[in-house]
Structure 1
């Protein structure tokens, strides 16, 4: 019995390692549904019970989320990202916003130094969509467009750890932004990001840091 138990445990560990590797490699992006239990069983060459145990272990670690009737979805790209997500969920909005400021200011600096022309094309297109969303007056559409722009700025810094940490602030960022904007898109709440994007294009790291720090400090002041 002990030998069988050890063999089963080893198989589960192998399943966990293989699933973790697929997630880390981006085969199943954050938010996507992973293959079904029978599919994983065939893919990994192990029994469904072994797959089930491996999936549950990764769900407990915060990488996966099991949704009854819908499937199993990727919640985070690593155990670190899963831990950050849980910690953010338990934090005050001010704490989350202060961490967001630290990450976005560093991202602005990195993007100004390391952005590519492909990055700039994405940033300028995202900025245009953000402006269109604001003009249209749709709060939810604007929130998503704004978050997308900041995600692309972080990616343009070309720091994978920074990008992973920032991704796990997504829900907190949306919450603080909705609170800042309120129920309608009023002119006095508009934040111009064109200067930030211009600074990144000009590779002006100091200017990019200044712009990012200013609007985030204003958001923090608005929470008081």
Structure 2
């Protein structure tokens, strides 16, 4: 009876913006401070080196940001904060979108590979199947076999033990395949970085087409990445500039 009274509770995104409280942790964005000292202090407090100070400006590489919020809550002059979730970006060396053909726009199968994830990003990916996000309504489906997968969704920094299985999964996919790195660890290695036991991100192992920053990114950020992959959403130049990548 409760469900009949309340009706459909799924988010209306992407038809309209989702504004429910707690839908996104937000992220720091490039900030112009009043003094060089404030910019340097913001950079110094970042545990992963995601903030670079240049004069009075502080630039953010979201591929390294772990959402600790020190730059937002722990200094007198905080970084500017973006409360959104449409964060999908292109890898640094890529200049165009490699979207899937239009035939995949509303019927896409996703193969998820845990390449050494701590569990945080994987948990957010799993949320896409719950009634609130209900990704099936948009034509997105998880698959257990790479033979029928269109998107390889990677979480984790790619540990040495997962390098081989990740490559085998990629090679078994049809040639229309695309790869998406989800989370800071899958993009740059995050807090794990690059070492003899860690590749430092999926881009070091295979060609990545899209990146979804965050640690972990909220479900709507991941959903935005899937919409970008099918050409139903796009990354604007403003988003790229805001991350100091232009």
Q: TM-score, normalised by structure 1?
A: 0.30
Q: TM-score, normalised by structure 2?
A: 0.28
| Bigger radius of gyration | 1
Q: Which has the higher strand share?
A: 2
